[in-house]
Structure 1
């Protein structure tokens, strides 16, 4: 297992999104109350012309507000059905909630949560991707052979059971299919040639997302 605390957010973003392309936006004085981990994420995002998120949206630091319950929403999913917040009295604590539901404590603290989300989102920004549905256990084992699972906390979004595996130039996200007899899988890599190994795996019906 890879310990998420050993993953540097800045190094990860540089690896999967490339080096900074512009000067960072200065943090307005009105945002000084925000947690340092959130400042770092927006600092890194402001250095790049391309987005760092695709299935979630980070709320602009100037627009983050604390509610009467002490929760400050900093991220929503693409449909705004799910939201994530931190507690102003304990800024390391992350809470999640589906629309019209009460806040529930996420198992990850804020810094790790942001690394987790950056890792998920990098899959959708990678230059080379493959996906497959109803992948049998044997084929999955071949896909994952050179990778190591990241010990991220379990999320309820987009659904329970998602897991992430990593190698130097490859990310894989898996989840059991409905019914649990096989796997749905997303593969992302920095090198197109890395995918050639996967295409030779029997019983893997690969698709190219967006093709």
Structure 2
């Protein structure tokens, strides 16, 4: 098991996105009201010319506004949003498609680490993915990896976990049923694995019963 708070974020980003290419851009003092972990994220990510997060979108600092005690700082490309509680900025609120909000089990610091790791599994240089992996294959798929013990979030559906080893990262979650109401498919998992080199995925290609979607 890996405690997410023990992960050094700058080192992780360098390992998965290469060295920084620009000097840090400090946030102006007018954004001092933002929570420290979020300010640190904006300043850290400013050192890379490529977007570090592509599945969701961080709002620019000057777009973050307070409304009803919360401040939305991130959105996906559908209808979900994420906010921090203005009165307790370590609390992350997950917006739901029906307009309601639910408190995340993760602090803001943990959530930001989870976010970059999840995105890296889906946007690594080399990838394997399958939406219907029998659970009997998971031990072999994850043999070299350890679970990162995130509290968990509700998006895109509850039950997803992150696993990590040197140069390889996996996002594992329940497979979706084949018909409405699109619940979890018992005995099957969605598996998304990213790696920094192609050779780290060779063992997956030997699992001929799984129809991997390849990206490299």
1:205 alignment partner in structure 2 = 211
Quote how far apart the aligned CAs of 1:142 are: 0.7
Q: Superposed, which structure 2 residues align to 1:45-194 within 5 Å?
A: 45-67=45-67, 69-79=68-78, 81-177=79-175, 178=177, 179-194=185-200
Aligned equivalents of 1:103 and 1:85: distance in 2? 9
2:39 alignment partner in structure 1 = 39
Conserved 8 A contact 1:54-1:124: no
Quote how far apart the aligned CAs of 1:35 are: 0.8
1:10 alignment partner in structure 2 = 10
Conserved 8 A contact 1:28-1:62: no
Unmatched tracts of structure 2, length 5 or more: 178-184
- What is the SS of the residue equivalent to 1:166? strand
TM-score, length-scaled by structure 2: 0.91
Aligned equivalents of 1:207 and 1:31: distance in 2? 42
Quote how far apart the aligned CAs of 1:180 are: 1.7
Quote how far apart the aligned CAs of 1:100 are: 4.0
- What is the SS of the residue equivalent to 2:192? strand
Conserved 8 A contact 2:122-2:192: no
Quote how far apart the aligned CAs of 1:190 are: 0.5
Post-superposition Cα deviations, 1:81-119, rounded to whole Å, max 9, x if no partner, equal 111111111111111112442221100000000000010
2:202 alignment partner in structure 1 = 196
Quote how far apart the aligned CAs of 1:32 are: 0.8
Q: How many residues align?
A: 208
Conserved 8 A contact 2:122-2:193: no
More strand by share: 2
Aligned equivalents of 1:11 and 1:111: distance in 2? 16
Quote how far apart the aligned CAs of 1:202 are: 4.0
